[in-house]
Amino acid sequence: MGLPLMMERSSNNNNNNNNVVELSRVAVSDTHGEDSPYFAGWKAYDENPYDESHNPSGVIQMGLAENQLLREKNPEGSMWGSKGAPGFRENALFQDYHGLKSFRQAMASFMQQIRGGKASFNPDRIVLTAGATAANELLTFILADPNDALLVPTPYYPGFDRDLRWRTGVRIVPIHCDSSNHFQITPEALEQAYQTASDANIRVRGVLITNPSNPLGATVQKKVLEDLLDFCVRKNIHLVSDEIYSGSVFHASEFTSVAEIVENIDDVSVKERVHIVYSLSKDLGLPGFRVGTIYSYNDNVVRTARRMSSFTLVSSQTQHMLASMLSDEEFTEKYIRINRERLRRRYETIVEGLKKAGIECLKGNAGLFCWMNLGFLLDTKTKEGELELWDVILKELKLNISPGSSCHCSEYGWFRVCFANMSEKTLDIALKRIHEFMDRRSGF
């Protein structure tokens, strides 16, 4: 009896929808954010990519936060065949979704090394995921239910609209920050965001930050981190700190990890609401390897994340290779030091080049990008005015940069400009295009 009834319902649905095959709410949802200018710029680049020899008038990709400044060769980082490396059979066999112990140990040591030894990490609390995207989504699934909310300071990484909302059904309530204090989070802004959610009968489950900030390219001050944790304790919610750029701070002393704050806290009820996301994509320039981690001080979160990580595993061969590479402390120390120096020099190059064109940037100290202020060029201080300027930069200058509105910035005219995913020569060409554009605007 059940089967004919199911067939009858299917037939009725087809008749009501003109034989259109229906999909799930997730499949047809627009919360992926694919229509954002952030992704539209990528499409424009893909269709007409710059190439020094074959397409010198093409679009230069300045919307991709990728680190290509350092490609060190590590003798231990080969797949198979090096001394002590696992063979094909060991890589091919099934691995427990806890991840290889050797890799978790190496990752814990590397995370401690990046933070100058100011915080320690227990390998048993590390959960491996296929990149930070998966880590953030997985944490969101664990901490919140559909229609709950996470508070996220603006401007924020455009991909969070996809990572945190699309499949989870969780909402993002913005913590509005502005340039008056360099976009730092204030207690007033936190309270206002929480109240906005409460007034809409939305349950807040946590605060999620990026430290260093994407797109600002600046670290979060220690006092702000302490205020954030105090706020989360008072509201009985979680604090998630995405620290994927922690090794890309130009001067290590300028970065404070939330792990350092937790290190000095004895109260378990405070510690267990803190969770850290990390990845090797940015600091080591390995986005294609898809290696991310969740580090939580909450036993239940660790346990649940491990169970859910079976949907987002890291391959055995990747774990073996990276465990070998990260265990080479001489190599990692040299890599981190040179990487910081090259990022700092590249940042200074682009900021100085923009300044010569009459363009100012927010003072930054980390990351693979700068936060550029073109507000003075807007015909109208509106989202439409900002996108009109972005369209000119993309189609006439052939530069893909990310407009602040795609990052939900509360002030129009700011743009994120990536500088580490190209050669110095390509960056010079990009700056030349900007200078020529500014000269034309000035009538020279």
Please list the active-site residues. Answer: 157, 242, 244, 282
On whether the CB atoms of residues 408 and 155 are closer than 8 A, the answer is yes
- Residue identified by tokens 């010198």 is 56
- In this structure, the number of other CB atoms found within 10 A of the CB of residue 221 comes to 15
Region of residue 183 (left: phi > 0; alpha: psi -120 to 50; beta: else): left
- Residue identified by tokens 């700190």 is 241
What is residue 159's DSSP assignment? T
CA distance 341 to 339: 5
| Closest listed residue to residue 413, CA positions, set 376, 370, 369 | 376
On whether the CB atoms of residues 240 and 277 are closer than 8 A, the answer is yes
- In this structure, the number of other CB atoms found within 10 A of the CB of residue 21 comes to 7
User: What are the phi and psi torsion angles at 308 (to 5°)?
Assistant: -75, -20
Four-point Cα dihedral 242, 247, 252, 257, nearest 10: 20
- Residue identified by tokens 């090797």 is 280
The CA distances from residue 333 to 72, 113, 131, 324, 390, in Å, are 12, 8, 23, 14, 40
- Residue identified by tokens 């930070």 is 132
The CA distances from residue 319 to 283, 310, 396, in Å, are 17, 15, 44
On whether the CB atoms of residues 148 and 205 are closer than 8 A, the answer is yes
CA distance 15 to 315: 46
User: What are the phi and psi torsion angles at 184 (to 5°)?
Assistant: -75, 150
Please compute, for residue 66, the number of CA atoms within 13 A of its CA located in the half-sphere on the CB side.
13
On whether the CB atoms of residues 283 and 67 are closer than 8 A, the answer is yes
